[in-house]
Amino acid sequence: MTGNVSSGEKMGRLDIFDRMRGVQENTPGLKSSKDINIEPVKNRLNGTIITDGPDSILKVDYSYPLVYTHGDVALKDVVSIDPGLLRVLLPALPRSLDLSLNDLIFFDLETTGLSGGAGTYVFMAGFLKVEDEKIKTAQYFLNNLSSEKLFLMEIRDRLKPGSVLVSYNGKSFDCNILKNRFILNGLGLADRDPTHLDLLYTSRRIWKGLFPDFSLRTVEKWALKFERTGDIPGYMIPDIYFQYLRGRDVTEDLCGVFMHNRNDIVSLAAVLLKQLSIVRYCARFDRLNGINNPGQFNPVSLSDMLINCNYHEEAKKLLKSYTDDTEVLKRLGLLYKRQKLHRDALVFFKLLIEKTEDFSEYIFACIEMAKLYEHRLKDIDRAIFYTEKVWNRVRRQDYFYPDRASVFLNDRAHIEKRLDRLRKKQA
DNA sequence: CGAACTACGGCAGTTAATTG
DNA sequence: CAATTAACTGCCGTAGTTCG
């Protein structure tokens, strides 16, 4: 898969060059691209043309009814987001800034490629914001290349300072491409980098180990139960735009790109709401109210995120309600060990020894028991007991799976050494 | 006393994955 | 072939302990 992608992108780079040349050959000079007929798209989507002197771009507005659900997420909840919960996902959120939700800006760009260099244009920018208790999207479309400056200025006007950006992989992709376009058009970037929540990274943490990958499409399907029908796949999007620039009638496809972009930004809002419902469930802020089932999540990651925001007690409570998970037992043990609550740590490492099916996890838990008894509780006999326990288990493993013995060679040597030392100490 | 060992936090460097 | 981030890896200094 990875190999295919990278070779495909190499091809894509050459393709873009070819296609740009095609644009220039078929339409004599960029100015004539103004003649491209955008009317069919404008009419189909009920858009408006924004003009400034000779320049013009297309804007398409859309408003969602408050009853709209995206997959199993009710979008209306976006009007009442708790900044305290949001801070668990975005610790950088300024504490001073009281977040009236008008300050959240969901956005996504469509571009002429993935490479991100100076040759990549932004031709569509979709925004979602909450206004007057309504969910409104606004999409800007660069319908001729010579109006790029106007296009960029309209985008910049939406990114008011003090607002919080929400994107998917936007920190590395969208923002940087946009920055490039601003620089190339002599438009100097906004004063300083705004607070930016990139849902790619929160998704990877919250659903770690649960989904096959973390593309927005997969997260939609597995976390939101939202599946797209008739969606334009991303790799086709640059091509559709180039065909449009060449003057071909791609009204149908272009409307598909608008739909694709709008679904992307609505999914951003839905993913954020889903993640917030998981955070709320884990922190049990609404212990007394009915808690709706937020679906699956990784309890260890969530406890990390809670601890990161100083919700230590909530994190412990959460982990203690997931002790069927051996990763949770391991984390609880390490947590109490770091706090020097050795007796508590012992309880969880012991549970881990009993519960785990994983051999290296078993080895780990036994060695932790031995360490705690030897160095903290000064009980050499018990330390020897657990070291012998794991030593015998390793030998048993060697006997039944002689071909796999080398895998645990390091562990073997380590355990042997520990046992020697403990026996000398005991004598 | 001082050498040797153990555990561990901090810190830098590396890797994998996503975006049209 | 880029930028970003979490997670992992390896290295180093420190603290604490045990021996010769």
For chain A, give the mean pLDDT.
Answer: 85
Question: Which residues have CB under 7 A from strand B?
Answer: A 2, 5, 8-9, 12, 108-111, 113-114, 116, 168-169, 172-173, 200, 213-218, 234-235, 237-238, 264, 337-338, 370-371, 374-375, 417-418, 421
The domain segmentation of chain A, as residue ranges, is 2-282, 323-426
Three-state SS string across chain A, please?
CHHHHHHHHHHHHHHHHHHHHHHHHHCCCHHHHHHCCCHHHHHHHCCEEEEECCEEEEEEEEEECCCCEECCEEHHHHHCCCHHHHHHHCCCCCCCCCCCHHHEEEEEEEECCCCCCCCCCEEEEEEEEEECCEEEEEEEECCCHHHHHHHHHHHHHHCCCCCEEEECCCCCCHHHHHHHHHHHCCCCCCCCCCEEEEHHHHHHHHCCCCCCCCCHHHHHHHHHCCCCCCCCCHHHHHHHHHHHHCCCCCHHHHHHHHHHHHHHHHHHHHHHHHHHHHHHHHHCCCCCCCCCCCCCCCHHHHHHHHHHCCCHHHHHHHHHCCCCCHHHHHHHHHHHHHCCCHHHHHHHHHHHHHHCCCHHHHHHHHHHHHHHHHHHCCCHHHHHHHHHHHHHHHHHHHHHCHHHHHHHHHHHHHHHHHHHHHHHHHC
pLDDT at A99: 65
pLDDT tens by residue, A301-314: 999 899 888 888 89
Q: Which of A80-89, A277-286, A320-329, A393-402 has the lowest mean pLDDT?
A: A393-402
pLDDT at A30: 42
Q: Which of A2-16, A94-108, A257-271 has the lowest mean pLDDT?
A: A2-16
- Which amino acid appears at position A367 of this protein? I
- Percent of chain A beyond pLDDT 70? 87
* Strand C nucleotides where any atom sits below 7 Å of a protein CB: 1-7, 17-19
pLDDT at A419: 87
For the cut 90, the answer to whether the pLDDT of residue A56 exceeds it is: yes
For the cut 80, the answer to whether the pLDDT of residue A352 exceeds it is: yes
Q: Which of A16-20, A125-129, A233-237, A244-248 has the lowest mean pLDDT?
A: A16-20
pLDDT at A425: 80
Give the CA A382 to C1' B18 distance in Å.
Answer: 49
Q: How confident is the model at residue A231 (pLDDT cuts 50, 70, 90)?
A: very high
**What does the pLDDT average to over A274-279?**
93
When comparing pLDDT for A79 and A40, which is higher?
A40
pLDDT at A377: 87
Domain boundaries A323-426, corresponding CATH code: 1.25.40
The yes or no reply on domain A2-282 and CATH 3.90.550.10 is no
* Strand B nucleotides where any atom sits below 7 Å of a protein CB: 5-9, 17-20
pLDDT at A8: 34
For the cut 50, the answer to whether the pLDDT of residue A1 exceeds it is: no
When comparing pLDDT for A28 and A186, which is higher?
A186
pLDDT tens by residue, A177-193: 999 999 889 887 666 67
